[in-house]
Amino acid sequence: MIGRARSVVLTGLTGHVIEVEAHLASGLPAFTLVGLPDASLGEARDRVRAAVASSGLTWPARRLTVNLSPASLPKSGSVTDLAIAVAALAAAQLISPGQAARAVHLGELGLDGRVRPVRGVLPAVAAARAAGVSEVVVARADAEEAALVDGVQVRAVSTLAELLAWYGSDEARPIATDPVARPVIEAHEGAPMDLADVRGQDDARWALEVAAAGGHHLLMTGPPGAGKTMLAARLPGILPDLSRADAIAATSVHSLAGTLDAGAGLLRRPPFEAPHHSASAAAIVGGGSMLARPGAISRAHGGVLFLDEAPEFPARVLQTLRQPLETGEIVLHRAHGATRYPARFQLVLAANPCPCGLFAGSGERCECSPLARRRYFARLSGPLLDRVDLQVHVLPVRRGLDDEGESSAAVAVRVAAARARAAARLEPHGWTTNAQVGGAWLRRHTSQAACRPVWRALDEGRVTARGADRALRVAWTLADLEGVAQPEREHVEQALMLRHGGVS
């Protein structure tokens, strides 16, 4: 007798429906798991046996072989526990096999027979749906997330016994227990942060608005305590809602990373991730042993990645950002193959003006040599800074300034209007924001008269050719913010000013 059930394993955000077959044969009692399981999945045998016993059923005292196919697919973790238990009990004819074979089961089993939530339920259910599956079984804590996928019937269970009774078992003994809650990995900020809290800082506020409107990456330089972090954290608040596709991708990444709050539903607002420079490369970029986990850059998908004290990040990590900045995704290579995660984010870099942080204003107290200062910024230079269109100095605000700033909601209205203008213009070229526009397009579509300040700056060696492109990109955003069809000379001049005091 063969029992069957289905489950899903994930490679990155890509789910594969797998078939779990259980075969019972006479012989000495044994439980063998085949089909490329890793050590963590091997432990499923102990969990499944204990959970079945806790549910009031007698584990078949025969030779049981469970095969997970396709065998070529690496499998890890505990998500298949539930399917393994169901297939084994169907093989033993302790439940009716038909219905169990059709559904996809996603859940870890506790030794006490409770069904525990797992990571990555949204991408797993989406994959099941794409494969034509119409019914999924999940832990109660995962039901809401599973229901985000249309067209699938979700059955939420607290215990294995509850499911077995549904599958026709007479012996299953439901245990009275609370469903397992989803573990809380990190507490998210309560009230959204508002630009109204930022006093003064007109230049920096303006740079933030331009960055939001054009999708430009931004570098803020300034001494510690000037408010760079406070400003960066308010960028998501003036960005538009995520598109449906980005919302699904972002929610899937956070589900897999274990950073999705229970009951959060689909993430609609751009996320904000601010990894510390001492964090591991795996934590920032993604990685881990066998199945690569998404890192901060993928959790920032659709939103903002903020690197405070950016020159302090390991060069290797900064280098790795080139790929997502170009392609919007990160490919992590592992022994069993490559794992891809989305990683399209708006990059905000913050840096002190020099290694000691005191080179501001008159710079009197700074003891860094000019060479040390150059070296400090050189860590950011090249491919990374080439993609940063905007640079702004952030200086500490004088005391006594107590006018409340303009609210994020008011700024977001202008940002949305500017983005809509840009999107309509760039749509035929496959771009959505000015930050994505290529140099050739910029030079062809910006009027000669408008370009003049840039050519002069180029002649005088004040900007590089790349710097000229960046200024033109920003000039288009300034025109979009003003609601005019094309940048004029003053927009280009302003764009050059916005890069004033930059580091390259």
> CA 423: distance to chain centroid?
23
To the nearest whole angstrom, how small is the minimum distance from the Cβ of residue 115 to Zn ion?
57
Q: What is the 3-state secondary structure (H, E, C) of 348-381?
A: EEEECCCCCCCCCCCCCCCCCCHHHHHHHHHCCC
User: Shortest approach of Zn ion to residue 294 CB, angstroms?
Assistant: 36
CB closer to Zn ion out of 84 and 351: 351
**366 interacts with Zn ion by CB under 5 A:** yes
Q: At closest approach, how far in Å is the CB of 504 from Zn ion?
A: 19
List alpha helices for 262-401, DSSP H: 281-285, 296-299, 315-320, 322-327, 370-378
Nearer to Zn ion among residue 31 and residue 359 (C-beta): 359
Q: Which is nearer to Zn ion, 283 or 356 (CB)?
A: 356
Give, in order, the Cα–Cα distances in Å from 345 to each of 236, 348, 419: 11, 9, 16
Nearest CB to Zn ion, comparing residues 196 and 356: 356
d(CA 114, CA 180): 7
> What is the DSSP code string of 481-495?
HHT-SS--HHHHHHH
Q: How far is the CB of 416 from Zn ion (least distance, A)?
A: 40
Per rule CB under 5 A, is residue 481 in the interface with Zn ion?
no
- Nearer to Zn ion among residue 78 and residue 221 (C-beta): 221
Residue closer to Zn ion, measured from CB, 237 or 353: 353
Closest CA to 430 of 328, 301, 305, 321: 328
Backbone phi, then psi, for 157, in 5-degree steps? -130, 145
Give me the least distance between CB of 388 and Zn ion, in Å please: 22
Report in angstroms how near the CB of residue 380 gets to Zn ion at its nearest.
16
Closer residue to Zn ion (CB): 215 or 223: 223
Single residue of 31, 359, 376, 377 touching Zn ion by CB under 5 A: 359
Number of residues that bind Zn ion (CB under 5 A): 6
To which residue do tokens 């045998």 refer? 45
Shortest distance, CB of residue 391 to Zn ion, whole angstroms? 19
Residue 423 binds Zn ion (CB under 5 A): no
C-beta of 295 vs 357, nearer to Zn ion: 357
- Of 60, 55, 54, the residue nearest 92 (C-alpha): 60
| Full DSSP string of 397-411 | PPTT--PPPPPHHHH
Q: Are 185 and 171 in contact (CB under 8 A)?
A: no
Sign of CA dihedral 308, 269, 385, 390: negative
Task: Please tell me the distance from the alpha carbon of residue 15 to that of residue 340, in angstroms, as a whole number.
Answer: 12
Binds Zn ion by CB under 5 A, chosen from 249, 368, 388, 435: 368
Whether 167 and 149 have beta carbons less than 8 Å apart is answered as no
Q: How far is the CB of 396 from Zn ion (least distance, A)?
A: 16
Nearer to Zn ion, 367 or 404 (CB): 367
Taking the complex as a whole, the smallest distance from the CB of residue 356 to Zn ion amounts, in Å, to 3
Judged by CB, which is closer to Zn ion: 359, or 476?
359
Minimum Å gap between C-beta 74 and Zn ion is 50
Q: Is 395 in the site for Zn ion (CB under 5 A)?
A: no
- Residue 367 CB-half CA count within 13 A: 0
Asked if 469 and 442 count as a contact pair (C-beta separation under 8 A), the reply is yes
314 touches 282 (CB < 8 A)? no
What separation in angstroms does the CA of 172 have from each of 51, 87, 159, 162, 168?
11, 15, 10, 8, 9
Phi, psi of 50 (to 5 degrees): -65, -40
Name the residue nearer to Zn ion (CB basis): 171 or 367.
367
Q: For the chain, what is the largest distance between any 2 Cα atoms, rounded to a whole number of angstroms?
A: 88
For residue 458, CA distances in Å to 103, 467, 468 come to: 65, 9, 7
The answer to whether 356 contacts Zn ion (rule: CB under 5 A) is yes
Report in angstroms how near the CB of residue 355 gets to Zn ion at its nearest: 6
Give dist(CA 82, CA 329) in Å, integer.
32
Q: Which residues in the 336-355 window bind Zn ion by CB under 5 A? A: 354
CB of 365 to Zn ion, least distance (A): 8
Rounded CA separation 46/495 (Å) = 64
* Residue placing its CB nearer to Zn ion in the complex, 313 or 359: 359
Task: Specify the stretch interacting with Zn ion by CB under 5 A; choose among 122-130, 176-184, 243-251, 365-373.
Answer: 365-373
Footprint of Zn ion (CB under 5 A):
354, 356, 358-359, 366, 368
